[in-house]
Amino acid sequence: MSEHLFTPGPTPIPQAILDVLARPILHHRSVEAQGVFRRIQPGLQQVFGTSELVLVLSCSGTGAIEAAMCSLGRPGEKALVLNNGKFAQRWVDMLQIFGYEVVDIRVPWGMAAEVQHLHAALESHPNIQQVWMVHSETSTGTFSDIKSLAEVVHQKSDALVCVDSISSLCAHELHMDAWGLDVVVSGSQKGFMLPPGLAMLSLSPRAFAKSEEATIPCYYFDLRKARASAMQDTTPWTPAISLICALETSLEILLAEGMEHLWARHEANASMLRSRATAAGYRLYSSSPSNSVSALYIPESRPTLAKDLLSQYSIRVAGGQDHLKGKIIRVGHLGAYTTADMERISTALEELMP
Ligand SMILES: *Cc1c(COP(=O)(O)O)cnc(C)c1O
């Protein structure tokens, strides 16, 4: 019996995508490859809600964040991070390594980054150039309202709004242009239902303008090079072309469902899991639960919950990270999940509650 993945990345891969991955390799400098690059662009723009170029980098999500950090700034510039979990902490660490002066706004894990966290910080720290926020903090299963946060950033500063949308894109509504988002990053192994290995990111015209003056050293991850190549329907270096071919099919699947339906399905799946689990006696870790992943406290009476899900139901979930290790499980419902899948995980959780 094969394993049922309920992890927030990698997510299950639909058969139509697996079929594309089994095809013979396409040469990345061929006319056919250029055609793939040209055809994926409108679909990516629809998913991101932008009319800007969406760049596809051959790396995981973290690589695209690194690319943005080194392509958009100068050492010594101030960057603010709304730090409410493990991924936000990673962005703090990386900004420091690249020489930014980091304003680290700590928000307790399990809580959303809120507008009030931003107001005071932006007032007491003028000249902030970038504000980083995580749309769905995967370490805690927490959703933050980036639309409202972006509004405050624009009211109070000239900073770029930089969004880690790696686990939220496709699960939560996001409109890059309409919401004034300057940097939006996602990854292939999350809502795109692909294997790991691609990151997608888009920059607003303001962010591109900043990149022209950026001085942090980078070469492979230089977004100016990536953009120049993308305008010619190609990439500066050898891309993960097989994954890019599969991305074309991923976009067809996503857009056949339609963004509104996609968001609604994720909402319905997440609320079904949350209500069934809490009715069975589980407690949610987050006070602002995400539609991509649910973090549930492990009941004291079932400390082996994750192991039991795997051995008795062939269901793989993710555990807690850092101080949450052994305290929570994280159930992914980002990607190609049906009501029947949610029924399966909910029933298993109910049966395992002593
Ligand atoms: C998965 C994830 C990342 C990290 O992405 P990698 O692809 O592992 O580099 C970053 N942020 C969030 C919110 C994620 O869920």
Query: HEC string of 20-45?
Result: HHCCCCCCCCCHHHHHHHHHHHHHHH
Mean pLDDT of 266-272: 98
Report the percentage of the chain scoring pLDDT > 70.
100
State the Cα–Cα distance between residues 198 and 60, nearest whole angstrom: 6
First-to-last alpha carbon distance for the chain, in angstroms, is: 25
In this structure, which residue's CA is closest to atom 6 in ligand 1?
61
Report the percentage of the chain scoring pLDDT > 90.
98
Residues 194 and 17: beta-carbon distance below 8 Å: yes
Give the model's pLDDT for residue 354. 85
State the Cα–Cα distance between residues 312 and 329, nearest whole angstrom: 16
State the Cα–Cα distance between residues 48 and 352, nearest whole angstrom: 39
Give the model's pLDDT for residue 60. 98
In 3-state terms, what secondary structure has residue 141?
A: coil
Expressed in angstroms and rounded, the spacing between residue 132 Cα and the centre of ligand 1 is 14
Expressed in angstroms and rounded, the spacing between residue 301 Cα and the centre of ligand 1 is 31
In this structure, which residue's CA is closest to atom 5 in ligand 1?
61
In this structure, which residue's CA is closest to atom 12 in ligand 1?
166
Q: What mean pLDDT, rounded, does the chain reach?
A: 97
In 3-state terms, what secondary structure has residue 216?
A: coil
Give the model's pLDDT for residue 2. 84
* The pTM of the whole model exceeds 0.95: yes
Question: Is the distance from the beta carbon of residue 144 to the nearest atom of ligand 1 less than 6 Å?
Answer: no
From residue 210, how far is each of 71, 130, 179 by CA, in Å? 8, 11, 19
Expressed in angstroms and rounded, the spacing between residue 117 Cα and the centre of ligand 1 is 23
Q: Is the pLDDT of residue 271 over 90?
A: yes
Q: Is the pLDDT of residue 193 over 90?
A: yes
Give the model's pLDDT for residue 345. 98
Residues 111 and 105: beta-carbon distance below 8 Å: no
CA 32, 30, 64 angle in degrees (round to 5)?
Answer: 90
Q: Is the pLDDT of residue 1 over 70?
A: no
Residue type, 151: E
Best residue among 164, 188, 291, 333 to mutate for probing ligand 1's pocket (most ligand atoms within 8 Å of CB) is 164
Question: Is the distance from the beta carbon of residue 139 to the nearest atom of ligand 1 less than 6 Å?
Answer: no
Mean pLDDT of 314-339: 97
CB-based burial label for 231 (10 Å; 0-12, 13-18, 19+): exposed
pLDDT level of residue 222 (50, 70, 90 thresholds) = very high
Mean pLDDT of 220-247: 98
Atom of ligand 1 nearest to the CA of 136: 13
Q: For the chain, what's the residue count? A: 354
Q: Is the pLDDT of residue 21 over 60?
A: yes
Expressed in angstroms and rounded, the spacing between residue 20 Cα and the centre of ligand 1 is 24
Residues 34 and 185: beta-carbon distance below 8 Å: no
Mean pLDDT of 125-139: 97
Residue type, 69: M
pLDDT level of residue 41 (50, 70, 90 thresholds) = very high
